[in-house]
Amino acid sequence: MDITDFFDTFFEEAEELLADMEQHLLELDIDDPDSEQLNAIFRAAHSIKGGAGTFGFTVLQKTTHIFENLLDYARKGEMTLRADLVDTFLEAKDIMHEQLNAYRSEEEPDQEAFERICQTLQQIALEEIGEGLEAATSIPAQPAPVEEPAPVQPQETAESSSSEGTGLVVALLNVGEKDRTLLVEELEQLGTIESQSGDEKRYEVVLDSSVSGDDIEAVMCFIIEPEQIEIRPAAGAAAAPAEVQAPNQASEPTAAEKPVVAPAAPAASEPPVQKPESKTKKPEPKSKKAAAESSSIRVSVDKVDQIINLVGELIITQSMLDQTVSDLEDQSVGNSSLQNGMSLLQRNARDLQEAVMSIRMIPMEFVFSRFPRVVRDTAGKLNKEIELVTEGKSTELDKSLVERITDPLTHLVRNSLDHGIEMPDVREAKGKPRTGKLTLSARHQGGNILIEVRDDGAGMDREVLLKKARESGLNVSDTMSDEEVWQLIFAPGFSTAKEVTDVSGRGVGMDVVKRNIQGMGGRVEIQSKKEEGTNTRIVLPLTLAILDGMSIKVGRETFILPLSTVLESLQPAQEDMYAMAGDDVVLKVRDEYLPVIAIHEALDVKDAITDPTKSIAVIVQGEGRRYAMLVDELVGQQQVVVKNLEDNYRKVPGISAATILGDGSVALILDISGLHRLSRVKKESRKPVNNQPLSFYKEAEPS
């Protein structure tokens, strides 16, 4: 086993830790920071540093190291938090994320960003800790808060005195030459090494450092066992830590223990002062992790897909058996216990399939969790006040969709913040609260999932949209319904932004959003009321892996039409078919002329019915347009497991994917707009050869 095998685990873990860190940073109350949260942020940074160190990701390790130091000051209350500091922390988190991504794609991280953030962080450390010192000296004069048994302030005294440079003697017991060099290097990063001496059995390093012994031990424990480290204050500085330890320990244990601890510290030679504290502290993060892990496991998508495939196979085998059994029944040699067994197998197989499919489902929280940050950043840039509300975080969605919905959703959120919600003053003038409200919600609706982005902003202006549309040469009329007018914003190149701002106008338009969502088999609807706000609704199928399909036959071939695209089917009458200029044919269905797609032509199917009046027209909808699709026979409705064709083959025009039918054969899933394009291309290419108009269409009459 190679160490690189663990890389992925580290990357995934680090990614989660960074996400946690961001969440905590965003939730942090700057005026009264929750020490548990600060600790959580610190722990995240610390764990990443440890991992990065182990795998030799030096840049990441150094960044987290400096960051961790700052966080340490913050959690010890030595540094006062400010909004801009949190911003810097968030930026640091972003840069660490970039570094992580760089390592993941086996590149060197951006050196410039690394140096910049390190410098910024160090600068903060210098400035803040300087202030912290002043503050610390003044604090003991004030009475300590009563409700807390004085945990923070006295410690501050401790840290500030130690930040002046505390001499520590770090003794390494029974540490081999190689590890020793590593450890000394590590110590160099933590402070200035004043002297070092000793042998393998006991090697003493005198360190002048502002880092607490506890942290030094924590860092070194990545390399050696805690028992191999002994940290005590150096003789000269012994007086200060003695004072430190006393109030520190006193916070929890009874006063009786105090004298024991206090004299022990200055004694300075044997007792490892930091030990007791570190012992009580260590297990805490560990137990937390264990609890989190026991409720879920990390599995590679490949394995899940494999199980889904196998279950799919099982279902197919089961339906084959089922067929055989019912044939036996017909010949009246049926056996009732065989019958019962079959129906039991059928039910179990279905349950199994459902259970397996649910493995792929993950809660929307994974998507929503990134939006506090997006909203915070965007609102900051736009100088707007925004409150973000999320609903239905636990609604589950297929993993493949979760990954693909994030970008369109981000775009919609940015749009709402930029164009929808007004500036605080404007809002006040309108009699609305200064703070705009943006709601993200997810919920199930039938077989679909409904995701909404709601704002209480200005809403869309019908007149402005129509005017813009005319300017950009779109075909619009004043009689269009509101819903149609709102849909205009999905036209390519259409923007309602008066000017390109930092937030919008990056060239990704709403048309891309719409295309992406349609690519997932979903659709976008807009509801908007002037001065009340806009609601963008995304309706998505629950999963991409299963599709409700209508199986159809053309010639001897079976195809699947996604049921969501099918509107109705009818038998076309001769008089409703009109030949258009060229080779095009339209079918008149209730005052609507629909382009006709003959599948046998587009896909070159042999032995198919060529007379449209003898075939069936299925009215389908694709990319907002309707078509009449000519098929030979409607077989029935069934759920199919969608299989990608591109895994082993290539993209096929007119076909979106494949599936496996009950008899084990492959059926292709039709892509409606692709088929329409294909049939046009076919007609184009056939034109010079065959100029004869098809006899069974009558000429279109000029109206």
Partner 1 sequence: MSQVHKEAVLEAENREFLVFSLGEEEYAIDILKVQEIRGYENVTRIANAPDFIKGVTNLRGVIVPIVDLRIKFHLDSVEYGGQTVVIVVNVADRIVGIVVDGVSDVMMLTPEQIKPAPEFGVTLSSDFLSGLGSLDDRMLVLVDIDKLLTSEEMALVDTTSNQ
Q: Which residue stretch of 12-20, 161-169, 309-317, 630-638 sits at the interface with partner 1 (rule: CB under 8 A)? A: 309-317
Least gap, CB of 162 to partner 1 (angstroms): 54
Least gap, CB of 664 to partner 1 (angstroms): 6
The H-or-E segment that residue 358 falls in is helix 336-359
Q: Which is nearer to partner 1, 529 or 556 (CB)?
A: 556
Site for partner 1 in 101-130 (CB under 8 A): none
Q: Which residue stretch of 66-74, 276-284, 586-594, 660-668 sits at the interface with partner 1 (rule: CB under 8 A)? A: 660-668
Least gap, CB of 572 to partner 1 (angstroms): 23
Site for partner 1 in 341-370 (CB under 8 A): none
Residues 416/455, Cβ–Cβ less than 8 Å: yes
Which of these, 559, 680, 686, lies nearest to 618 by C-alpha position? 559
Q: Which is nearer to partner 1, 453 or 642 (CB)?
A: 642
Least gap, CB of 314 to partner 1 (angstroms): 10
Residues 399/361, Cβ–Cβ less than 8 Å: yes
Q: Which residue stretch of 89-97, 237-245, 305-313, 691-699 sits at the interface with partner 1 (rule: CB under 8 A)? A: 305-313
Which of these, 551, 549, 554, 553, lies nearest to 565 by C-alpha position? 549
Among 24, 39, 65, 68, which one carries the catalytic annotation? 68
Which position has the token pair 């053309």? Answer: 554
Amino acid at residue number 385 = E
What is the contact mask toward partner 1 in residues 614 to 653, using x (rule: CB under 8 A)? -----------------------------xxxxxxxxxxx
DSSP string for 536-590: EEEEEES-SSEEEEEEEEETTEEEEEEGGGEEEEE---GGGEEE-STT-EEEEET
How long a stretch of residues is the chain?
Answer: 703
| Phi then psi dihedrals of residue 90, to 5 deg | -65, -40
What is the contact mask toward partner 1 in residues 210 to 229, using x (rule: CB under 8 A)? --------------------
CA gap 5, 298 in Å, rounded? 15
For residue 528, what are the β-bridge partners? Answer: 534
Interacting residue with partner 1 among 320, 500, 666, 694 (CB under 8 A): 666
Residues 353/312, Cβ–Cβ less than 8 Å: yes
Least gap, CB of 311 to partner 1 (angstroms): 9
C-alpha 623, offset from chain centre: 27
Q: Which is nearer to partner 1, 147 or 649 (CB)?
A: 649
Which of these, 376, 387, 419, 414, lies nearest to 512 by C-alpha position? 414
CA gap 588, 590 in Å, rounded? 6
Interacting residue with partner 1 among 263, 334, 519, 664 (CB under 8 A): 664
Which of these, 237, 310, 311, 319, lies nearest to 273 by C-alpha position? 237
User: CA dihedral in degrees (28, 34, 40, 43; nearest 10)?
Assistant: 110
Segments in 360-498 forming alpha helices (H): 365-368, 371-382, 399-415, 424-429, 462-471, 482-487
Interacting residue with partner 1 among 167, 408, 457, 654 (CB under 8 A): 654
CA gap 567, 619 in Å, rounded? 5
Q: Which is nearer to partner 1, 329 or 557 (CB)?
A: 557
| Phi then psi dihedrals of residue 632, to 5 deg | -80, -40
Q: Which residue stretch of 372-380, 510-518, 625-633, 658-666 sits at the interface with partner 1 (rule: CB under 8 A)? A: 658-666
Least gap, CB of 604 to partner 1 (angstroms): 5
Least gap, CB of 328 to partner 1 (angstroms): 24
Tokens of 281: 């502290």
Site for partner 1 in 413-442 (CB under 8 A): none
# binding residues, partner 1 (CB under 8 A): 30
What is the contact mask toward partner 1 in residues 449 to 488, using x (rule: CB under 8 A)? ----------------------------------------
Q: Which is nearer to partner 1, 301 or 666 (CB)?
A: 666
Q: Which is nearer to partner 1, 199 or 647 (CB)?
A: 647
Q: At 596, is the secondary structure helix, strand, or coil?
A: strand
Among 39, 69, 248, 415, which one carries the catalytic annotation? 415
Number of neighbours of residue 510 by Cβ within 10 angstroms: 23
Strands 229-233 and 166-173: antiparallel
Q: Which is nearer to partner 1, 449 or 675 (CB)?
A: 675
Q: Which residue stretch of 266-274, 292-300, 579-587, 664-672 sits at the interface with partner 1 (rule: CB under 8 A)? A: 664-672
Verify whether residue 516 is a known catalytic residue: no
The residues, any chain, with a CB within 8 Å of residue 544's CB and separated by 6 or more, are 398, 400, 401, 520, 521, 642
Strands 655-660 and 633-641: unpaired
Least gap, CB of 98 to partner 1 (angstroms): 25
Interacting residue with partner 1 among 139, 338, 423, 660 (CB under 8 A): 660
Q: Which is nearer to partner 1, 392 or 654 (CB)?
A: 654
Q: Which residue stretch of 148-156, 310-318, 356-364, 443-451 sits at the interface with partner 1 (rule: CB under 8 A)? A: 310-318
For residue 633, what are the β-bridge partners? Answer: 553
Number of neighbours of residue 203 by Cβ within 10 angstroms: 19
581-594 burial by CB neighbour count: b if 16+ within 10 A, else e? Answer: eebebbbebeeeeb
Residues 267/287, Cβ–Cβ less than 8 Å: no
Q: Which is nearer to partner 1, 312 or 408 (CB)?
A: 312
655 forms part of the interface with partner 1 (CB under 8 A): yes
Least gap, CB of 656 to partner 1 (angstroms): 13
Among 24, 39, 46, 65, which one carries the catalytic annotation? 46
For the beta sheet containing 625-631, the strands, ordered from the edge strand earlier in sequence to the opposite edge, are 566-570, 616-622, 625-631, 592-598, 585-589, 577-579, 698-699
Q: Which is nearer to partner 1, 510 or 546 (CB)?
A: 546
What is the contact mask toward partner 1 in residues 379 to 408, using x (rule: CB under 8 A)? ------------------------------
The residues, any chain, with a CB within 8 Å of residue 510's CB and separated by 6 or more, are 411, 415, 489, 490, 494
310 forms part of the interface with partner 1 (CB under 8 A): yes
Q: Which residue stretch of 68-76, 125-133, 167-175, 662-670 sits at the interface with partner 1 (rule: CB under 8 A)? A: 662-670
80 forms part of the interface with partner 1 (CB under 8 A): no
CA gap 400, 81 in Å, rounded? 39
Interacting residue with partner 1 among 109, 191, 312, 549 (CB under 8 A): 312
Verify whether residue 335 is a known catalytic residue: no
Least gap, CB of 671 to partner 1 (angstroms): 12
Which position has the token pair 């004298």? Answer: 259
Least gap, CB of 647 to partner 1 (angstroms): 7
546 forms part of the interface with partner 1 (CB under 8 A): no
Verify whether residue 415 is a known catalytic residue: yes
Site for partner 1 in 563-622 (CB under 8 A): 602-605
Least gap, CB of 406 to partner 1 (angstroms): 22
What is the contact mask toward partner 1 in residues 673 to 692, using x (rule: CB under 8 A)? -----x--------------
Least gap, CB of 644 to partner 1 (angstroms): 7
Q: Which is nearer to partner 1, 48 or 678 (CB)?
A: 678
Residues at the contact surface with partner 1, assessed by CB under 8 A: 309-310, 312-313, 557, 602-605, 643-655, 658, 660, 664-668, 678
Catalytic residue positions, numbered = 46, 68, 415
